Amino acid sequence: MKLRTEIRHIVIVAPSNSTLLDVAGPLDVFTKAIENYNSINDNIDFVYKTHVVSTTANKLVSMSSGISIMSDGFYKLIDYNIDTLIIAGLPKIQDYKMENDLLKWIKEQSKIVRRICSVCSGAFILAEADVLSGKNATTHWKYCGTLSNMYPAVKVDINPIFIKDGNVYTSAGVTAGMDLALALVEEDLGKSFAIEIAKDMVLFLKRPGNQSQYSTMLKYQNIDYKPIEKIKDWISDHLTEELTVERLAKESLMSPRNFARIFVRELKITPAKYIERLRIETACRFLEETQLNIEEIAAICGLKSSENMRRLFFKSLEINPSLYRSNFQR
């Protein structure tokens, strides 16, 4: 067996009152990778070493859940080169303000580490440290608007579970940190190895980074224009039908051109794309909750055929319906 001499230090910064799973989730993924090195071929010449560091001189870090964890120590005492730096988030975004010394250190590290990442609201800490300026980024869907308003230089995308922009990675709410960690392991050690880690942890490898954080109906519910609000409800009740712009415009008592314009203005998405997302989401729910076959689900959701449903699943979720069901069926 080849001697693995390089150590890749994975450092998770755990501020006081941070979310436990933001720390423990990625940590467990990398720990499981360390435990499974024997299944890797001899071409791999590095090993991971994980660390949790505190933002104060106190090694004991209190989590928001009331549990305290013992860290390796103060971030200022790190005496090794960091490979991957992960910033855990906090459940209350008003608590994200950190001491200037920590922010300066994070900014400096972002220029020299191979990867710098955030989990959930940890994106606010990266933004405050001026790491996200000009970058594509995400965070928990509830906080995306706040992140965008507070840091206009950040290109906030509300949809993905995680985003990579250069060496900067940001992820959505808590469990998305595990999805991100699996993606990082896959980058380093290959997909087949990451799949084994996911199986051991009974995780889905891999929830695609572009998978939506939350439901289509939830995302587009906050609109004030009544005709569009009503047609949204009508669409959800008529998914099996042929839903053209002309048909929707007629139901809304508008011309097709005016309807399409107003729909995009209000929802920032075309009618066709909205309907496609709603159909895919509905199909996912049937896959999770019923024993109906793919052809039956395709018909119920207005996807016409199982082949068309498979094509749209690959396009939107990077997975086929059968595999989706095997991972998510309740």
Locate the domains of the chain by residue range: 6-200, 216-328
CATH of range 6-200; options 3.40.350.10, 3.40.50.880, 3.40.50.620, 2.40.50.100: 3.40.50.880
Three-class SS of residue 180?
Answer: helix
Mean pLDDT (whole number) for 268-288: 89
pLDDT of the residue at 328: 65
CB atoms under 10 Å from CB of 285, counted, come to: 14
Pull the structure tokens for residue 206.
């891999």
pLDDT of the residue at 81: 97
- The values of phi and psi at residue 108, to 5°, are -65, -45
Least confident of 5-19, 39-53, 83-97, 161-175: 39-53
Question: CB neighbours of 232 closer than 8 A, spacing ≥ 6?
Answer: 217, 220, 223
**CA–CA gap between residue 182 and residue 188 (Å, rounded):** 10
- CA nearest 182: which of 295, 312, 33? 33
For the domain 216-328, what is the CATH code?
1.10.10.60
For residue 14, is pLDDT > 50?
yes
**CA–CA gap between residue 135 and residue 154 (Å, rounded):** 6
Mean pLDDT (whole number) for 199-217: 56
User: How does pLDDT run across 18-35, given as a tens digit for each residue?
Assistant: 999 999 999 999 999 998
